[in-house]
A = this chain, B = another copy of it.
Amino acid sequence: MNDVIKLLLSHRSIRKFSDQAIDQETVNTIVAAGQAAATSSNLQGTTVIQVNNPDSRAELAQLAGGQKYVSTSSTFLVFCADVKRSAQACALQGGEFTPGMTEHFIIATVDVALFAQNCVIAAESLGLGICYIGGLRNNPADVSKVLDLPENVYPVFGLCLGYPEQDPEVKPRLPLDAVLMQDTYDESVLEAGIAQYDEHMRSYYRQRTGGKKDSNWSVEMKALVGKESRPHMRSFLHDQGFTMK
């Protein structure tokens, strides 16, 4: 196993950061590393908003459900899926942008995630810690107002960056054979994989909390997919131009 793979396997979210700033040149390098990721049909559907204004940071922390590290991390980036830039390029060529295609939504959303993960690897290789903030989708319309996002752009997630002031454990994952399948989807492996992982996670939570947290993965999944989740997303996306044709 080489050092890059060791780095990838050592990822954990960091939510407590030192006061040390990240200089702008380093931020630029991190974002340039993100740009180097693959992009479908060269769309380059990612725009990164670096939020420096303390009032905006405080507001976003609030909108993300009171995640204070959104305002206390050294750097906070919002990763936006952007087909506006391509639409403008299309218009330059006398073309007429075809809005609202589900496929464009997928391309841009995937582009953003590939780009962001490259940024994360670059940052972690420099000794920085990171935390993705999906909570921006709690109030995506208000987030879009704070960032002045135009139509055909939406905030997919945020990213906190800073020098770590904590050293949490790596979180266990599902067993490999419940995730990597051969030739066809094999439903028969799911039951054993979930059972094994539930046991693993139960002891992980117990150890981490001195026995206080008694949960496991399937309990977490019941809370996540056993009810409506951010039911505003559909209409928010529609209003933002992503009508899902």
Give bound CA distance, A33 to B95, whole Å.
42
Which chain B residue shows the least CB distance to A42? B220
Q: How many subunits of this chain does the assembly comprise?
A: 2
Which B residues are CB-close (under 8 A) to A174? 35, 44, 85
Which chain B residue shows the least CB distance to A32? B176
Q: How large is the interface on A (under 10, 10 to 19, 20 to 34, 35 or more residues)?
A: 35 or more
Among A66-74, A111-119, A161-169, the stretch that binds chain B is A111-119
Q: Would A89 and B42 count as touching, CB distance under 8 A?
A: no
Q: Would B148 and A110 count as touching, CB distance under 8 A?
A: no
Which B residues are CB-close (under 8 A) to A118? 8, 117, 121
Give bound CA distance, A5 to B52, whole Å.
24
Q: Would B40 and A134 count as touching, CB distance under 8 A?
A: yes
Shortest Cβ distance from A63 into chain B, in angstroms?
A: 15
Q: Would B194 and A28 count as touching, CB distance under 8 A?
A: no
Q: Would B35 and A173 count as touching, CB distance under 8 A?
A: yes
